[in-house]
């Protein structure tokens, strides 16, 4: 498998692909060189147990503006205090993240990482629509 070296936070990371690779951001749908994507999860390959890194699917610009928004919402006095359990599935051992509506930029709820990834729709109506597709209901 092809990889190249990226220095990030003073550490060398072996990133899958080539330095010329282009990726499309799933948030803004724009295509950028791999440099515009942060290093994400690791993948261990081959007999040599080589640790290769994948890149995030959202570009740095989108990641940064998301982080800034999360930060603002975290400090907002109207945002309820962060719970220790997930308000959706009740898990206590998962990391709780702030779930916000990316379109309205408003706080939605606190959720664990799993639930946050699962419930991507902004409104209940959108959620129902997405569910219909999933279950092939017309
Ligand atoms: Zn983007
Ligand atoms: Zn949950």
Q: What's the per-residue H, E or C state across 47-68?
A: CCCEEEEEEEEEEHHHHHHHHH
Task: Select from 57, 109, 61, 63 the least CA-distant residue to 88.
Answer: 109
Ligand 1: centre distance to CA 84 (Å): 31
CA 1 – CA 5 distance, rounded (Å):
13
Structure-block tokens of residue 46:
């081959």
- Domain ranges within the chain, ordered by starting residue: 3-62, 76-134
Q: Is the pTM for the entire model greater than 0.95?
A: no
Ligand 2: centre distance to CA 52 (Å): 29
- Ligand number nearest CA of 27 is 1
pLDDT digits (tens, 9 = 90+) for 13-61: 999 999 999 999 998 999 999 999 999 888 888 888 889 999 999 999 9
């Amino acid at each position: 498998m092809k990889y190249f070296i990226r220095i990030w936070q003073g550490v060398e990371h072996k990133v899958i692909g080539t330095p010329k690779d282009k990726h499309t951001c799933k948030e803004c749908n724009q295509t950028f060189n791999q440099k515009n994507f942060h290093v994400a999860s690791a993948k261990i390959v081959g007999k040599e147990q080589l640790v290769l890194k994948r890149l995030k699917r959202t570009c740095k610009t989108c990641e940064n503006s998301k982080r800034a928004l999360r930060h603002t919402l975290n400090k907002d006095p109207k945002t309820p205090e962060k719970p220790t359990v997930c308000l959706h599935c009740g898990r206590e051992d998962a990391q709780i993240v702030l779930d916000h509506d990316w379109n309205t930029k408003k706080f939605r709820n606190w959720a664990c990482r799993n639930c946050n990834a699962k419930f991507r729709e902004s409104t209940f109506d959108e959620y129902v629509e997405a569910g219909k597709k999933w279950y092939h209901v017309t």
